Structure 1
Amino acid sequence: MLRRVLTVWRRSIQARVVVTTVLLSALAVSAVGWLLLQQVRDGLLQHRVDAVLAESATEVADARDRLSAASSVDVDASGQQRDLVEPIIQRGATRGFDVVMAGPINRDGENPGGRIADGGAEFSPGLDTASVPVRLEDHFARRDGTAWTYTTIRSTDGDTVTSVPGIVVGSQVELPADGLTYVLYFLYPLNEEQETLGLVTRALLAAGALLLLLVAGVTWLVTRQVVTPIRLARQVAERLAAGQLQERLRVHGEDDLARLAISFNQMASNLQRQIRQLEELSRVQRRFTSDVSHELRTPLTTVRMAGDVLHDARGRFDPAASRAAELLQTELDRFERLLVDLLEISRFDAGAAVLETDDVNLVDVVHRVVDAAQPLARKRGVEVAVRAPDRPCLAEADVRRVERILRNLVANAIDHAAAPPTPGVPAIVVSVDADDQAAAVAVRDYGVGLAPGESAMVFNRFWRADPARDRSSGGTGLGLAISLEDTHLHGGWLQAWGRPGGGAQFRLTLPRRVGGPLHHSPLPLVPTDAGERVS
């Protein structure tokens, strides 16, 4: 499930746009909702505080009026305290607030007294006197006047204990009976404000959720109008890439997407026309190469017969004519090889080349190719050595094509061979190795080498690294190009490395099984004696 979600996230622009928009909208709605809740909360609390302070001030003023009307000869402080607080407690029970009367306060000593916990306080039934914060008691132990703070009001009704947020307001009164100061605490619950705030919170959450759903729907609709033409263009582009060149986009309207579709169709039409022109040109070229190669065989056979007669009779000619007969024979041999190579190239271009695979021991193939090239190597005065393991290096391949690849590589090395920098080292070294996945052959020479960038061009048709050098093997300029096509037919690699004046190395790498994966080569492309870091 997670993998499917990640796949949709990677592949769908519409999904990413919708999710991103919803997340950003959620952050914005949350911030705005939080600010609104804070303002509503502050407004509700401020309104409640104003009302509480006004009501408590009225109660305190009424209490002071009743104390002023009390008889000055009454010395029963406890009775006077009860007479003062009981009416307030009764009114509080009907109006929804609780009352605590604590005291007296003595500011002359170190212990001011007047603590509710010390006992003697009068309070509403069921009220937990700990609802009055100690910090508020400390305030009245040092100062006069009225003070208030937030608190948690705890009360007991039988076995049920309830706690609600509230506001406690304290004011001081003086009893005529003993002349001491007492504190009246009024505790007002915030039940209504809490319910109002909860209602507002639920309303904001519902509105925010609906708003996010609306934003998601609008975003999906808007992005769909943009993404759908892009998806259609992608599908058409994939079909064009698959060879269905007649595919086109449907154009609706005159907006930017419609103009994009028109431009896309024009581009597709131009590509179709150019591809067909190139295909026709390629077909004509392949047909021309094949026809010329076949048509030249008959006159070449006639010329070959005449050349053989002249070559056999060259001993009776004068030196100039004898030399001309020899040159004619040499060029006829090269011309025949050129025709064969052109026919092979035409088969590759037409896609008619096929493999006839078998299990091939590359060590045996290399020895056969090197033995066949020894006369040419001795003629050039170069030594060709083979470095191969004692074990077989097997690969599933077409032995005829592999031999042709190696003949071209060895002949090319002989053409460009030179004396190695280290005495006693062969001028050309052919290395063979294999592992579980691949088999490889590397041909190393110490000739003119390759300049930077020429390692890729060396496989181009009729390209030569050193145009001034004579071909000892009578090559046609197509050998490496055909070798590359043979290698690709096997699913292998044919790579070249070279350094000016430092020689070159060509490496053929074949998978152990045709069509098998090929990730590395058993032999390095850069030779170990090149003094370069092998990557």
Structure 2
Amino acid sequence: MRRPRVPAGVRRALTFWRRSVQARVVASTLVLSAVVITAVGWFLLQQTRDGLLSNRVDAVVAEASGETSEAELRLEATLRTEVDITRQIQDLARPIISRGETRGFRVVLAGPVDDEVPLASGNADFSTGLDLEASIPASLEERLATVGSNPAWTYTSIVTRGAGGEGAPVSVPGIVVGSQIRLPADGNTYALYLLFPLDEQAETLGLVTQALLTAAVLLLVLVAGITWLVTRQVVTPVRMARQVAERLAAGRLQERLRVTGEDDLARLAMSFNQMATNLQRQIRQLEELSRVQRRFVSDVSHELRTPLTTVRMAGDVLHDARGDFDPVTSRAAELLQHELDRFETLLSDLLEISRFDAGAAQLDLEDVNLGDVVRRVVDSTRPLAEQRGVSIAIADGPQPCLAEADVRRVERIVRNLVTNAIDHADPDHDPGIVISLGSSATASAVAVRDYGVGLQPGESAMVFNRFWRADPARARTSGGTGLGLAIAVEDTHLHGGWLQAWGRPGEGAQFRLTLPRRTSLALRRSPLSLEPTDAAAAPGREAVR
């Protein structure tokens, strides 16, 4: 299943988040600050609300107690002969209702409470537009029946309607205080409810909430700015150090950090500059040593050619006249000729290595058929293979194996691989040496397979090192110098190709050369498998050079 593409803006934001320490510090500080500010703000709001409500409750309870006391005094002054219950309720409630309209509270006088009838079903007088059942909680009615004459209060929602009960109901939070009054007209107990709205407290709490939110936003912005500035003082030197380190890694060894002040960051910059200076000095010393070594190898190789030519001439004379010598002298002349050949090859390899080290090696590119190169190498090395009793077979691919390459260097690579395989092949094992060719749209490859001693674990990573030998006691049939594979891998890198090795003890080895069809193309894969198809199922080991 194909994953959905992430928009470019989101990718840039994620990249900025991963790479910017400053952004992560500011974001984490803002989140933590927001959590702390939210907790503190919620606590302050709770305390403010509780304080406002507590003060309001004390005020309304005191006011309700005063109204109840005044009503009881008026009832005591009423004539005992008054028996009209409705009129007495109205005479008692009207003054309180009038004061309530002036002071902003609503009044309900209903009862009797001993009959346990709903408010709207008993005798009642109340402020205009008040919804009794919705405004007075049933729990307060039950509490009032047990409290006696002492006031009882609770929070409620004061619901009012328009004139005549029409229009949508309006509900506001409030406090209802209830107390009992005994009516002389019938001797029953009635309930006096005073409903006080909490509009002012709600408005005050809203103003406090808005102020806290405004202060929280401003505080978060201030914290973000301060955090940005503080982290910038720390992150900026680190970014400068990163930039200077990147320039040093790119070879600009003269780059240094600017040191200002005497704090820890300044001391860090001084230490960094001292480290860069020491590294620059050591790198220059190593470069000078490497240059001297390369020049020494080149000079010695060139200077040895003249005496070697003289020794070669004398050796050729002795070798041609060895038939006139006694057997011991004749054998010495043959050994001298053999070592002179090896010495000349070693000098040529050293000169080639010095050119690689100096970066003076260049390619003479042309279109090359690797199959023709392989056949020429096989023809030239067949006498050596027959001398060792080793057969060589070529497995051509279905398509021509073409590449843009330096034919001289490619031929030298293949010759080194083939002679190395002859050195390590097992003459008693058939088919001896197998050379495979393969090509694709972007690459061409040559694989040389032998069935000799193979490579121990870890040796495939060292086989291309200079003068390295898997078995120092093993004789070199081809008279190699130990530089063949090292030169081969340098030639391969010069073409932008791969030279890889696979080997397993007792199962032989395989070397694979992969070259791009065009030097401008980058290699992605090889047309041939590095591990031979006839190898055992156990995992092999390989080295990519």
TM-score by length of 2: 0.90
Query: Once the two structures are superposed, what CA deviation does each residue of 1:420-449 show, in whole Å capped at 9, x if it has no partner?
Result: 7xx7x4122222223334333222222222
Deviation at 1:258, TM superposition (A): 1.7
> Does the CA-based 8 Å contact 2:260-2:266 persist in structure 1?
yes
CA contact (8 A) 1:413 1:444 kept: yes
Aligned to 1:533: 539
Task: Choose the corresponding residue for 2:528, options 523, 528, 533.
Answer: 523
Match of 2:320 among 301, 306, 312: 312
Letter in 1 for 2:512: R
Q: Offset of 1:266 from its aligned partner?
A: 1.2
Match of 1:195 in 2: 203
| Identity percentage of aligned residues | 69
8 Å Cα contact 1:174-1:180 kept in structure 2? yes
Q: Which residue of 2 aligns with 1:333?
A: 341
Give the Cα–Cα distance (whole angstroms) in 2 for the partners of residues 72 and 196 of structure 1: 48
Counterparts of 1:143 and 1:365 in 2: how far apart (Å)? 116
Aligned to 1:72: 80
User: Pairwise mapping of residues 92-107 of structure 1 onto structure 2 (< 5 A)?
Assistant: 92-107=100-115
1:471 correspondence with 2:476: yes
DSSP 3-state at the match of 1:125: coil
Over residues 190-231 of structure 1, what are the superposed CA-to-partner deviations in whole Å (9 max), with x where a residue is unaligned?
111111111111221222222222222222222222122212
Aligned residue for 1:530, secondary structure, equals coil
Task: State the secondary structure of the residue aligned to 2:330.
Answer: helix
Deviation at 1:36, TM superposition (A): 1.0
Which of 100, 103, 113 is residue 117 of structure 2 equivalent to?
113
Contact 2:155 2:173 in 1 (8 A): yes
* One-letter identity of the residue aligned with 1:99: V
Instruction: Give the equivalent residue in structure 2 for 1:125.
Output: 128
3-state SS of paired residue (1:17):
helix
Extract structure 1 runs of 4+ deviating beyond 6 A: none
**Match of residue 380 from structure 1:** 388
> Is the Cα–Cα contact under 8 Å of residues 112 and 123 in structure 2 kept in the other structure?
no
Mark the CA change 1:95 to 1:534 in structure 2 (over 3 Å): closer, same or farther: farther
Distance change (3 Å), C-alpha of 1:438 and 1:84 = farther
3-state SS, counterpart of residue 506 of structure 2: coil
Aligned residue in 1 for 2:352: 344
The answer to whether the 8 Å contact 1:105/1:114 transfers is no
Q: Shift of the alpha carbon at 1:283?
A: 0.8
For 2:210 and 2:293, locate their aligned partners in 1 and report how far apart those are by CA, in whole Å: 79
1:73, distance to aligned residue in structure 2 (A):
2.5
Question: Which of 357, 362, 374 is the equivalent residue of 1:354?
Answer: 362
The answer to whether residue 507 in structure 2 is matched with residue 502 in structure 1 is yes
- Structure 1: distance between partners of 2:296 and 2:315: 27
1:33 aligns with 2:36: no
The residue aligned with 1:324 is 332
**Structure 2 counterpart of 1:60, from 41, 65, 68:** 68
Conservation of the 8 A alpha-carbon contact between 1:18 and 1:220? yes
Q: CA deviation at 1:293?
A: 1.6
Structure 2 unmatched ranges of 5 or more: 1-8
Map of 1:367 onto structure 2: 375
Distance 1:180-1:268 versus aligned 2 partners, 3 A rule: same
CA RMSD of aligned residues (A): 2.3
With the length of structure 1 as denominator, give the TM-score of the two structures: 0.92
**Are 1:114 and 1:182, in contact at CA under 8 Å, matched by a contact in 2?**
no
Change (3 A) 1:39 1:307: same
In the alignment, residue 139 of structure 1 is paired with which amino acid?
E
Q: Which of 216, 226, 237 pairs up with 1:218?
A: 226
Q: Indicate how the Cα distance of structure 1 residues 173 and 397 shifts in structure 2: closer, same or farther if over 3 A, else same.
A: farther
| Residues 1:119 and 1:439: Cα distance change in structure 2 (over 3 Å) | farther
CA distance in 2, matches of 1:50, 1:138: 20
Task: Report if the CA contact (8 A) 2:144-2:178 is conserved.
Answer: no
* Number of residue pairs matched by the alignment: 527
CA 1:70–1:482: 2 relative to 1, 3 Å = same
Q: Which residue of 2 aligns with 1:139?
A: 142
Report the equivalent of 2:444.
Answer: 439
> Please, which moves more after superposition, 129-138 or 350-359?
129-138
Q: Which amino acid letter does the alignment assign opposite residue 482 of structure 1?
A: I
Cα distance per residue 1:352-376 (max 9 Å; x no partner): 1122233333333333323332221
Pairwise CA distance, 1:141: 8.3
Question: Following TM superposition, by how much is the alpha carbon of 1:138 offset from its aligned partner in structure 2, in angstroms?
Answer: 5.6
Paired position in structure 1 for 2:6 = none
1:227 to 209, 213, 235: 235
User: Whole-Å Cα distance in 1 between the matches of residues 111 and 527 of structure 2?
Assistant: 100
Kindly provide the CA deviation profile for residues 116-174 of structure 1, in whole angstroms up to 9, marking residues without a partner as x.
3x475422123333442443366258644443322222334566754322122222333
Of residues 308, 316, 339, the one that matches 1:300 is 308
User: How far 1:271 sits from its partner (Å)?
Assistant: 0.7
- State the distance in 1 between where 2:379 and 2:73 align: 134
In structure 1, C-alpha distance between the alignment counterparts of 2:409 and 2:508, rounded to whole Å? 26
Structure 2 letter corresponding to 1:481: A
Tell me, in whole angstroms, the C-alpha distance in 2 between the residues paired with 1:129 and 1:395. Answer: 101
